[in-house]
Amino acid sequence: MDINKLYNEWLRNAVGDPDLIKELEEIRGNEDEINDRFYKCLEFGTAGLRGVIGAGTNRMNIYTVGQATQGLADFLNSRFENPSVAIGYDSRIKSEYFARESAKILAANGVKAYLFDELEPTPCLSFAVRKYGTSGGIILTASHNPGKYNGYKCYDSNGYQMTDEESAQTYDFIQKVDCFTGIKTMDFDEALSQGLIEYIGKETIEAFLDEVQKQCQNPDAAKTAGLKVIYTPLNGTGNKPVRKILDRIGIKDVFVVPCQELPDGNFPTCPYPNPEIKQAFECALEMTKDIKADILLATDPDCDRVGIAVPDKSGEYVLMSGNEVGAMLLNYLLSQKKEKGALPKNAIAVKSFVSTDLAENIAKKYGCSFKNLLTGFKYIGELITQLEAPGRENDFIMGFEESYGYLAGSHARDKDAVVASMLICEMASYYKINGKSLIEVMDDIYREFGYYKNIVKSYQFDGATGMEKMTLIMDRLRNAPPKELCGLKTVFFDDYKTGISENTLTGEKKAIDLPSSNVLSFKLEDGSGLIVRPSGTEPKIKAYVTAIGNDMQEAQELADRLLQKADGYMEV
């Protein structure tokens, strides 16, 4: 590939967006900057596209988005007689612009586009796909990445992200499209008048909120507890729907962080708008000097993840992990449904297999069956769809991932921070009436089921040799799995790539009933363990440590030792 030739081609042809021409002119003669923008194309995978906004084949811009949309239109036209697509977008830079341009391209290709009339959470897009019966969906978002990023995710007709097979087929079509000459488009207003583009209005959001509200277990508790909430949408899409749903169930004392209330893709007060990290709560924590809130709530920009902080006995606010919130929510939903006689006979809960095993033990207490699935909420969405076919969708209690994604109900097929925010606040209200904080509730769960310490650590492998190192590490662990970790015997070695689970004590082998994935799991004799998997979108390997102890100090000490073992495995 002649990168300079490609650069000059863009300089001549990228006239549709003045920002791109300005950027290309500014880097003229700068080989490093030119190379970074053109040395590769953004990859289209199961997460669609994601990258830095800017000019070039390795950037998110109207041409890379247009190429993807034209390829998607070609794919849909090859599979459906009258295809249609629902399109949503978040608060990120150029999200609305990319969404409108995508709608124009689809319309020009005879694919009807249903476009939200303003920014909305990702789960609303999933809901709209099913409500309108579209052939697929597009959401313009980069989730909780820094502000310089944007992304383009594709959904199938079931309302969850495309499967590997569908995304590969779509990518085949995308690769055939010339980003300057191969994209069909049409005037937006003309497409509207012809009915090829139709706005998704407020009635769809109200219908979404109606479904969310059906998951409420104790509306009286929410109305009477007097819960005080400080909420930050982190300049994203959660502001309206989260506040509406809390108001609907009777939680009125909701104080929104002013500097993070309105949409702003620059995220000026929180460069990393990720509710998993403390920085996301700094502005909310500042407000606690004047408002003694029972709970701090933060949703990420596309409002599919939610994090919380709650005061301990000393009044200090403590962040609770995704695993802890997932375990508490499952315990709350199961206990309340059982108490009310509303727990389905064939109830089922589900999580990603890297999330805490504590949830599985909680489910057993209530006779609820449990399923562990690969990382990626589409697998949870797929399970709900399978339950729906025989009319069992109400058997689904909830699903979650340790990365702060939760879903209760079958209204969406992706993680939903709107329903999760409602249930977390309702749960906090219920326990407040009963004289307990969420920290005390979590301590009760630990005392009953054991103290679990879960830690996730990422190891970065940059540069041309990064992928080689990652492959070497995975191959080494796969071919010579550790027989013990920190003095505890390895009981099960699961290789999700080969699809084989081995009992290392007996030598017995069983098939893993999940799609192939490059993941290794080592389960120890006390239930603790280590899972290692390369990221599907970034040059990094993630290690997931689970440590179980008789108290939290013991669990923490074991977790630290297991993490040291993981550190050693990452050395090349």
Q: Which residues contact 90 (CB under 8 A, 6 or more apart)?
A: 119, 121, 122, 139, 140, 141, 236, 237, 301, 302, 303
Active site residue 143: yes
Amino acid code (one letter) for 24: L
* Helix or strand (DSSP H, E) at 326: helix 322-339
Q: How far apart are CA 135 and CA 137, in angstroms?
A: 7
Asked if 245 and 418 count as a contact pair (C-beta separation under 8 A), the reply is: yes
Q: How far apart are CA 103 and CA 113, in angstroms?
A: 5
Token reading at 381 = 């969405």
Task: Identify the active-site residue in 91, 95, 102, 143.
Answer: 143
Token reading at 493 = 């070695």
* Helix or strand (DSSP H, E) at 150: strand 149-156
Number of Cβ atoms within 10 Å of the Cβ of 233 = 29
Residue found under tokens 């921070």:
417
Q: Which residues contact 28 (CB under 8 A, 6 or more apart)?
A: none
Token reading at 270 = 């929180």
Q: How far apart are CA 47 and CA 45, in angstroms?
A: 5
What's the half-sphere exposure (Cβ side, CA atoms, 13 Å) at 237? Answer: 32
What is the C-alpha radius of gyration for the chain, rounded to an integer number of angstroms? Answer: 24
Burial letters 77-114, b for 16+ CB under 10 A, else e: beeeeebbbbbbbbbbbbbbebbbbbbbbbbbbebbbb
Asked if 180 and 63 count as a contact pair (C-beta separation under 8 A), the reply is: yes
Q: How far apart are CA 183 and CA 105, in angstroms?
A: 7
CA 146 from centroid of its chain's CA atoms? 15
Q: How far apart are CA 351 and CA 259, in angstroms?
A: 34
Q: How far apart are CA 172 and CA 163, in angstroms?
A: 14
* Helix or strand (DSSP H, E) at 492: strand 488-495
Q: How far apart are CA 317 and CA 453, in angstroms?
A: 19
Which positions are catalytic?
143
